[in-house]
Amino acid sequence: MNKLKIYLFLLLTIVISHAYAQPKTTILVMGDSLSAGYGIDIEKSWVSLLEKELTKQKDIQIINASVSGETSSGGNTRLPALLNEHQPHVVILELGGNDALRGQPLKLLEKNLQSMIDASKKYNAKVLLTGMQIPPNYGARYSNQFKELYPKLATKNDIALVPFLLEGIGGNAELMQRDGIHPTAEAQPIIVNNVLPELLSVLESI
């Protein structure tokens, strides 16, 4: 009888501990080649470095669903299934650069990003939007409107924003690969430092 009581007590303890255990926080990154580690070892990409930094103190996993060449239209199409599969607590949206480089209408980019924000919120996920910029040779008006699109969406939706993902990198040839578009491995820690403060604020609000 005593053994049965001990067994029941242990079983109850396990059940209670599981019930009150803190679940692992999942972060879903939806990006393009800048987040997919184009041209460098994936272990040296900013997403991988970010996960290593976060897991020092928090029980966190990052699902990197970034695809080189991805546009906002492609990301918008893929996101619902990824949300359903991973049920993330946070979604980092790093898209739009390829839209701009292809000269696609900014209204389409805005529509796609808004759709992704709405979809994330339906799954009760917090959203962190990363801003991007393009060279003025695409036209001053287009470049400025592209740059301003990100803070506009962040303010409208009351979501966190990294003003410029490549702050401290863009325009520095030593930190860019030969194509002049993709950051080198040496630049990846800088990207982490650009993202981390805003992401930590988001995580604290969960």
Active-site residue, from 17, 41, 179, 205: 179
Q: Nearest CA to 187 among 166, 204, 161, 201?
A: 166
Active-site residue, from 33, 45, 48, 72: 33
**Residues, the chain, total?**
206
Strands 126-130 and 60-64: unpaired
Q: Known catalytic residue: 179?
A: yes
Q: Known catalytic residue: 33?
A: yes
Active-site residue, from 45, 72, 120, 182: 182
Residue 83 in tokens: 């949300």
Q: Nearest CA to 200 among 92, 81, 122?
A: 92
Q: Nearest CA to 75 among 94, 90, 89, 88?
A: 94
User: To 5 degrees, how large is the angle CA 198–CA 142–CA 146?
Assistant: 15
Q: What are the φ and ψ backbone dihedral angles of 143, each rounded to 5 degrees?
A: -65, -45
**Residue in this structure with the two tokens 């580690």, named with its chain if needed:** 37
Point out the residues that are catalytic. Answer: 33, 179, 182
